[in-house]
Amino acid sequence: EDKVVQSPLSLVVHEGDTVTLNCSYEVTNFRSLLWYKQEKKAPTFLFMLTSSGIEKKSGRLSSILDKKELSSILNITATQTGDSAIYLCAVPPEYNYGQNFVFGPGTRLSVLP
Amino acid sequence: DSGVTQTPKHLITATGQRVTLRCSPRSGDLSVYWYQQSLDQGLQFLIQYYNGEERAKGNILERFSAQQFPDLHSELNLSSLELGDSALYFCASSIHPGGGSDEQFFGPGTRLTVL
């Protein structure tokens, strides 16, 4: 069964700290991995990583895909209180094979002032 | 604002009842996904439709059903409701049929409370 695991499940840091969130996956027919940020409402898209695009960066956020280790990390530098959210990692289905869209449990990040 | 709309925003009902949740995807998006998010289960994929046809199925109970209409809006029907069905139900949309090729845009969710 396809599986996505995230660690840590919860993290509390102070503003200015750098954090690394981890996501590992066990899926058949891997095509891409998505990172989402969920604050009080709906998840919002951060990055999509594929075999041809294994590193993405946007401002203080960056993400790397390690296909050999079947994992990805999301880095946030110089954290701000606005970064407090649940960060979700997901592996979408290969529709030709009828896979399910699998989300990890999320990492709850709290950034204290 | 993602461009995905969901109604109603909140729904409170009793056990045994049936409800319908509605989703309108972003303009131009052909795929609609339904998710259930509860405190102890995280975000669970239920079902995906692409251009009116079921594309992928997840952990959707037999008491639940969905469909996508010709105008691409989608409805999720939940029947014989149980207390454990209380959750936040999200709809998301994307352009392509396969989730591996593009991102999904999430609606604001419908919070269902079953008493």
Q: Tell me chain B's radius of gyration from C-alpha atoms.
A: 13
Per CB-CB distance under 8 Å, the chain B contacts of A42 are 2, 90, 106-109
pLDDT-based confidence at residue A51 (cuts at 50, 70, 90): confident
What average pLDDT does this structure show over B9-33?
94
Three-state DSSP class for residue B84: helix
pLDDT-based confidence at residue B97 (cuts at 50, 70, 90): low
Give the minimum alpha-carbon distance from A53 to chain B in angstroms, rounded to a whole number.
Answer: 12
Residue A42 is nearest to which of B2, B59, B101, comparing CB atoms? Answer: B2
Task: Return the pLDDT at B107.
Answer: 95
CB B111 within 8 A of CB B78: no
What average pLDDT does this structure show over A74-83?
97
Task: Return the pLDDT at A93.
Answer: 63
Could you tell me which residues come within 8 angstroms of residue B61 by beta carbon, excluding any fewer than 6 positions away? none
B3/B25 Cα distance (integer angstroms): 7
Per-position DSSP letters for B10-28, written without gaps between them: EEEE-TT--EEEEEEPPTT
- Note whether B31 contacts A: Cβ–Cβ < 8 A: no
